[in-house]
Amino acid sequence: MNATTIERLALEKVRPHPANVRLDVGDLTELADSIDAKGLLQPILVAPDPEIPGMWVIIAGHRRHAAATLVGLNRVDCVIRHDLTSEADIIEAMLVENLQRSDLTPVEEATAYQRLALFDVSPAEIARRTGRAESTVRRRLDLMRLPETTRELVHDGQLTLGQADAIAEFTDDPDMLDRLAATSAADMDATIYALRHQRDRQRRNTELVTEVESAGGKVYHHDGATDIPAGARRVDEWTLSMTPAQHRKHHPTGHAIVVWPHYVQEYCLDPTVHGVTTEPAPQPAPTVTDEKVAARAAEEQRLADDLAGAREHRIKWIRGTLSARHAPKPAGTEAMLRQFVLHLLEADLFDVTDWCDLLGLDVDLESPDVALWIASEVLEWRTPRLA
């Protein structure tokens, strides 16, 4: 028997394959009208059903089969591939046939690759059989690790492949993946950026804890179970005239870190070795007149009033800008605030409590979501997405 024959088969003997590559046959109205008027002009590609003798499964032509069923045809012309005798061969043939069509979605392609992988077909072999690059096959298979809701957004075109690839970075962190799954498509770029920053920070903190502990230093956690010794001083270039990295290198056993949810603080346990006293040196009492005291107090009050007024003005401007999310904004406002929050996320020098107070946010500072909350609150109204 020839490997390929053309026969007219009873429509009831032809069934869609349950592993059809296409997830949706779409609107059949126009195709059904065409078949009703002119008949089925292109045969359906089928193979012997490996499960039901005497039946045929569709390799290509699921839409034509569905439209012919709507019209009420009894028999249809079919091209029969007698050489496809196994389930893996049939799925591979369906995939190759559909890859030749430009409208196959990445999720449909990924679903087919995964079904081939179930037959112990490696990504390299899938690439060889389908003519795709192995990197493309692996990226599509990564899509199948995403939550179903996220795959649906990719399938519907609401998420780009670039965004899907970025989300796939978090498949080993269920909490972050859940947060991404609950994020709208419009906020996805900002959420990915914030979570990447949080993940990188956590990785750096973990590496720092390992480094300090292995060198004989001390690690304290924010839960307050162990208090850092009295007299310890923060390590910075102003206090000890050296960076934390320099102090870890030259005084490893005298180094300590306090681990907070979003950052770490580094301390010197014995600052006296650096010539820094833990108590301020006694100073002789200055001799001042009442007039100087009064003048200094007046100057300090004026400065305090100016600073308070400036702070109130900044807070009013930022809150007003954030609240007017749908109103036209002055030129440069969006870029200014966006750069402001990007600097906040990158600098590692902000005080979370002050920032929440500035924005009027009532959040749990112990929550791992606080940095993401702040980023979302500032970025929620902006029009351009982060690159």
Which of 194, 209, 224 is the last residue in one of the domains? 209
In a domain, 16, yes or no: yes
**Single-letter residue type at 294:** A
Question: E strands of 11-96, at which residues?
Answer: 14-15, 44-48, 56-60, 75-81
Residue in 342, 335, 300 with CA at minimum distance from that of residue 321: 335
Q: Which residue has the higher pLDDT, 50 or 365?
A: 50
- In this predicted model, which residue has the larger pLDDT, 380 or 12? 12
- What span, in angstroms and rounded, lies between the C-alpha atoms of 132 and 18? 24
Integer Cα distance of 185 and 160 in angstroms? 9
Tell how strand 14-15 and strand 233-234 pair up.
unpaired
The string of DSSP letters for 229-247 reads: PTT-EE-STTTTSS-HHHH
When divided into structural domains, the chain yields a total of: 3
3-state secondary structure of 50: coil
Average the pLDDT over 16-31 and give the result. Answer: 77
304 or 340: which carries more pLDDT confidence? 304
| Residues of the chain above pLDDT 90, percent | 2
301 domain-assigned:
no
Q: Is residue 314 over pLDDT 60?
A: yes
Q: What is the CATH number of the domain that holds 12?
A: 3.90.1530.10
Q: Residue 371: what pLDDT?
A: 54
Residue 42 lies in a domain: yes
Same domain, 10 and 100: yes
Residue 173 lies in a domain: yes
Q: What are the counts of helices (DSSP H) followed by strands (DSSP E) for the chain? A: 15, 9
By residue count, the chain amounts to 387
CA distance 372 to 189: 12
Residue 84's identity, in one-letter code, is L
Whether residue 174 sits in one domain with residue 86: no
CA distance 139 to 154: 13
Model pLDDT for residues 149-197, shown as the tens digit of each residue? 888 888 888 888 888 888 888 888 888 888 888 888 788 888 888 888 8
Residue 290 lies in a domain: no
Residue 59 near residue 81 (C-beta atoms within 8 A): yes
Q: What is the pLDDT of residue 337?
A: 57
Domain check: are 100 and 149 in the same one? no
Which one of 209, 224, 245 terminates a domain?
209
- Cβ proximity of 143 and 118 under 8 Å: no
Average confidence (pLDDT) over 306-324: 67
Helix (H, G, I), strand (E, B) or coil at 211: helix
Would you say residue 306 lies in a domain?
no
148-155 helix and 106-117 helix, angle to the nearest 10 degrees: 130
Across the range 281-304, mean pLDDT stands at 72
Instruction: Report which secondary-structure segment, H or E, holds 15.
Output: strand 14-15
pLDDT score of 220 more than 70: yes
| Residue 96 pLDDT grade (very low, low, confident, very high; cuts 50, 70, 90) | confident
In this predicted structure, the answer to whether residue 349 has a pLDDT above a threshold of 50 is no
Any idea what DSSP says for residue 22? -
| 263 occurs within a structural domain | no
Residues 94 and 20 sit within 8 Å (Cβ to Cβ): yes
d(Cα 319, Cα 321) in Å, to the nearest integer? 5
φ, ψ (nearest 5 deg) of residue 57: -110, 145
Q: For residues 380 and 5, which has the higher predicted lDDT (pLDDT)? A: 5
Answer whether residue 161 is part of any domain: yes
The residue range of the domain holding 26 is 1-104
Average pLDDT, the chain: 76
Kindly tell me if the per-residue pLDDT of 380 is higher than 60. Answer: no
